[in-house]
Structure 1
Amino acid sequence: MQDNTDQALKVTRLLTRKDALNESRLEARQESAAAAPGEVLLKIDRFALTTNNITYAAFGEAMNYWQFFPTGQQDWGHMPVWGFADVVDSQVPGVAAGERFYGYFPIASHIRMQPERVTARGFYDASEHRRTLTSAYNQYTRVSNDAAYAPELENHQMLYRPLFITSFMLADFLEDNRFFGATRLVVSSASSKTAYGTAFCLRDIPGISLAAITSGRNRAFVEGLGCYREVVGYDALETLPADAPTLYVDFSGDEALRARVHRHFGSALAYDCFAGSAQNTGFLRDTGLPGPKPEFYFAPVQIRKRNAEWGPEGVNQRFNAAQRKFIDHVKAPANGWLTLVEEQGFGAAQERIASLVAGASEPRAGYVVRLA
C-alpha cells in the first residue's frame, strides 16, 4: 500500500455515443490518487480492439454491457475491452500495489474496484452496480498465478482469450449436443476471429464437415485457414449441397442471409445457432422462417454447465490447453493467420473503433492499443 492521500490523479475516459458507435469523445477529471478503504486503484496499460467490442456496445442496452462501467450520462457509454492493468494503490488485503491483472476494463486511464473473493488466482469486483451482472465479466486474473499467461504473449491473450472462450465453449456446446443430428456445419462471417476459433476446435471432429460463407474480399483468407471443406461467397450460398443434415452457425446476424439459409437447406436444416453479431442488435425476431427456430448461444451458460460437471479447475485446464494450441498456431508466421498491429493512445483507439464500426478491419489483423 502506498501513501497517495494528498496526491491528485488525472483520469481520462473514452466515451462512446450509444446510438452512433463510431462517435466518441474524451473526458478528463481530477481524482484522488489514493484508494479508499476496501478499494483498489488500477492503471490500464493495454487492451485489444476487435469487432467483439463493437458487439458489446451494440448489445449494450439489451444485454447490460453498458452497466459494467456506468458513465452517469444517458447517451454516452463506456465500451468494454479486455486487457491488462496494474495496481497503483490498494486498501485490500491480498492485493498489492504493482501487481498486474488481466480482465474486463473500460477504455480509460484508470479504474477503481472493490475486490471480494480474493484468492491466489485473483479477485471479483464487488462494486454495487456489478453485483447483478454476469459474474464471468467481473473476474480479474492475477498474471503471477495464471497458468495461461506469458509476458511475450500478452497481445495474443488480449486478442484471442475473450473470443476463444466463446469459440471453445461453442464448439463444446455443439459437440455436447451431438451437433443436433447434423453432419455439416455452415458458418457465416467465417473470417471473424470467433468463427475461425470455433472452426479450429471442430476441424478434426470425425463425421463433421465444415463449410464457410464469407465476403468476396475475405474468401482467400478463409480458404487459407485450412479449417473448411468448402468456402463460398455470400452470393453463392445456394451452391452448397443440401443433401445432409445441416447446422447453421450464424456469426453475421444478417436476417436476409438467415432466410436464404433456411429456404435453401429446407428440411435438411437441423439447428440454427445464433452466436452473436456486431451489426444486428435485435434478438432473433420471429420472421416466419421455415425450419428450426433460431436459438441464441450465450457462452456463460455452457461455462456454468461445465463448471458444475468438470469443476472450475477442470474447465480452466481444458481451456488453457486448447487456447495455447490455438495461439501457437495463430502466431506462427507460416500460417498467416495474424498480423499484430499495435497502436498508441486514446486517439488511436477512437480511430480504430470508428474503423471497426465501419467494417474496415482486415481479418488477419489484430489491433492492440497501449495507453502507457
Structure 2
Amino acid sequence: MSEFQVKQQHLTSHRVVETPHIDGIEEGQILLKVESFSFTANNITYGMMGDKLGYWQFFPPAENEDKQWGIIPVWGFAQVTHSKSNGIEVGERLFGYFPPAEQVVMTPKNVSPQRLVDGSAHRAMLPPGYNSYSRLSGEKGYNPEFDKERMLLFPLHITSFCLWDRLQDNNWFGATQVVVISASSKTSLGLGYALHADNSAPQSIGLTSSSNMPFVQKVGIYDQVVNYNQMSDIDASKPTVIVDMSGSADILTKLATHLGDNLTYCINVGLTHWDEFSADSATESDRSEFFFAPGHIQKRMKDWGPQGFEQRTTGFMAQTAMKCRSWLEVQELNGLEALSQVYGQVCAGKIPPDQGLIIKL
C-alpha cells in the first residue's frame, strides 16, 4: 500500500510512502479502497491553506515522526472492502473527500440511504461538508458516465455556485462589472458560466495570462477577456467587484490601483498563483473577504434546507459540467507514482487549462 505526501511548509517537495496493508478494523468502522480521484490547482490551495483552514488534519500521514509531511485531500471515488458498520455493505461505492492513498479507514455516523459522515475523532472539528460522503447505491439517477466530471468539476463548481450566489445576494456589491482574476481556472469558468446565464448579472471580464487568452476567448463566456499586461483596457470608471482566484499579491495590487475608488469589493478565493501569495494581501477589510465555500454552504443549508440546497446546486453543476464537455480533455494516469511525475507541473501551473487529471489506483 502507498500514499502521496507533500512537505507542509514546502509544497513542491513530495514523496510516495509505502504503508502497511490494513486488514483489521474496529467495530463501527469501514475500510475503503480508493479507486480514482482528480488532481487540480485547487488541491494546491488546500495545501497552501492547510494550517489556516485545517486541511492537514483530514488524513494524518504515515512515517511522519518529524511532523513535516502532510496529505493533500482529493475528491474521488472509493469502494468499501471491509465493513463493521451496520447497513454499509462490502462493495458499496462512495464519492467524497479522500487521501491520495490506496486505503482509508472511516467511522460512519449519521448514515442515511443517500449519505454518511465520517465521524473519526480527528475530523470532528473540521468543516462538515468535507466529512460527508455520497452513497452511490442510494443516489437517485446516479450515472457513472459523469464520474470524471464529478471528480474534476463538481468540487470546483460548487464554489462557483456559492460565489455567484454571494454576489447576487449582495446586489453585486454595487458593481456594474465583475473582474475574475485567473479566468482560465475551472472554478473561474464555473462562475463565468453562471454569470453568462444570469440576465441580471453585471458585465464579466476574464483576466488571464497571454498564453491562456486564446483558450478563454474560445470558451466564450466572459463579455471581455484581458491579459495581465492589458489591465489598462479594463474600464476604471465603472464600479467593479473583483473575484480573485489567483492569490497573486502583485496582480491584485496592480488591478486595485488601476480601479482606484471604483473598486467596490474584492472576494479572495483561490491560489492558482500560490507562489505569489502574500498572507498580508489576503487579510480581510470592510471591502474584501477571504471566501470559504464550506461556510457559505452551511449558511445556505440553514436558509434553504439540505434538500433545497442540493436541488439548486446539483442542477447547476450538472448543466455546467455538460457545457465543459465541449472543451475538457481528461488525462488519466495510473498510480501514485504517475501523480508524483506530474505534481511539479500542477504546482507550476503548467497543466493546460483545458486538461483535467484523473489518477486511477
Q: State TM-score, norm by structure 1.
A: 0.92
- What is the SS of the residue equivalent to 1:216? coil
The CA distance in 2 between the partners of 1:148 and 1:270, in whole Å, is 42
Identify the match of residue 144 of structure 2 among 143, 147, 151.
Answer: 151
| Alignment match, 1:136 | 129
- What is the SS of the residue equivalent to 2:178? strand
- The structural deviation recorded for 1:145 is 2.2
Matched, 1:160 2:150: no
What are the residue-to-residue correspondences of 1:174-323 with 2, within 5 Å? 174-205=167-198, 206-278=200-272, 279=274, 282-285=278-281, 293-323=287-317
- The structural deviation recorded for 1:20 is 2.6
Contact 1:21 1:354 in 2 (8 A): no
Equivalenced residue count is 355
Give per-residue Cα distances to partners, 1:73-109, cap 9 Å, x unaligned.
Answer: 2111111100000000000001110000001000100
- The structural deviation recorded for 1:146 is 2.5
- The structural deviation recorded for 1:16 is 1.2
Change in CA separation of 1:141 and 1:168 when aligned onto 2, cut-off 3 Å: same
Give per-residue Cα distances to partners, 1:132-179, cap 9 Å, x unaligned.
Answer: 111111011101223473111111100001101101111111111111
| Alignment match, 1:15 | 5
- The residue type equivalent to 1:89 in the other structure is H
- The residue type equivalent to 1:109 in the other structure is E
- What is the SS of the residue equivalent to 2:20? strand
Change in CA separation of 1:304 and 1:29 when aligned onto 2, cut-off 3 Å: closer
The CA distance in 2 between the partners of 1:357 and 1:66, in whole Å, is 18
- The structural deviation recorded for 1:115 is 0.6
Mind listing any 5+ residue stretches in structure 2 that lack a counterpart?
A: none
| Alignment match, 2:357 | 367
- What is the SS of the residue equivalent to 2:50? coil
- What is the SS of the residue equivalent to 2:137? helix
The CA distance in 2 between the partners of 1:183 and 1:148, in whole Å, is 39
- The residue type equivalent to 2:71 in the other structure is H
Give per-residue Cα distances to partners, 1:258-278, cap 9 Å, x unaligned.
Answer: 111221111211111111214
Change in CA separation of 1:198 and 1:83 when aligned onto 2, cut-off 3 Å: same
- The residue type equivalent to 1:197 in the other structure is G
Contact 1:349 1:369 in 2 (8 A): yes
- The structural deviation recorded for 1:35 is 2.5
Contact 1:270 1:292 in 2 (8 A): no
Matched, 1:104 2:97: yes
The CA distance in 2 between the partners of 1:210 and 1:51, in whole Å, is 23
- Could you list the structure 1 runs, at least 4 aligned residues long, displaced by more than 6 angstroms after superposition: none
| Alignment match, 1:127 | 120
Contact 2:248 2:277 in 1 (8 A): no
Mind listing any 5+ residue stretches in structure 1 that lack a counterpart?
A: 1-10
Contact 2:248 2:278 in 1 (8 A): no
The CA distance in 2 between the partners of 1:200 and 1:311, in whole Å, is 25
- The structural deviation recorded for 1:120 is 0.6
Moved more, 30-39 or 210-219: 30-39
The CA distance in 2 between the partners of 1:232 and 1:84, in whole Å, is 37
Identify the match of residue 75 of structure 2 among 82, 104, 122.
Answer: 82
Contact 2:179 2:206 in 1 (8 A): yes
Identity of aligned residues (%): 36
- The structural deviation recorded for 1:19 is 2.5
Contact 1:59 1:281 in 2 (8 A): no
Give per-residue Cα distances to partners, 1:200-240, cap 9 Å, x unaligned.
Answer: 11113325100111000000111111111111110111121
The CA distance in 1 between the partners of 2:95 and 2:122, in whole Å, is 20
The CA distance in 2 between the partners of 1:326 and 1:284, in whole Å, is 34
Contact 2:245 2:268 in 1 (8 A): yes
- What is the SS of the residue equivalent to 1:203? helix
Change in CA separation of 1:54 and 1:148 when aligned onto 2, cut-off 3 Å: farther
- The residue type equivalent to 2:88 in the other structure is V
The CA distance in 1 between the partners of 2:335 and 2:30, in whole Å, is 23
| Alignment match, 1:118 | 111
Identify the match of residue 50 of structure 1 among 22, 35, 40.
Answer: 40
The root-mean-square deviation of aligned C-alpha atoms, in Å, is 1.8
The CA distance in 2 between the partners of 1:360 and 1:286, in whole Å, is 24
- The structural deviation recorded for 1:22 is 2.5
| Alignment match, 2:345 | 355
The CA distance in 2 between the partners of 1:286 and 1:20, in whole Å, is 20
The CA distance in 2 between the partners of 1:319 and 1:295, in whole Å, is 23
The CA distance in 1 between the partners of 2:356 and 2:332, in whole Å, is 8
- The residue type equivalent to 1:34 in the other structure is G
What are the residue-to-residue correspondences of 1:64-83 with 2, within 5 Å? 64-71=54-61, 73=64, 74-83=67-76
Give per-residue Cα distances to partners, 1:13-46, cap 9 Å, x unaligned.
Answer: 1111223322222222334423221110000000
| Alignment match, 2:30 | 40
Moved more, 222-231 or 210-219: 222-231
Contact 1:272 1:292 in 2 (8 A): no
- What is the SS of the residue equivalent to 2:252? helix
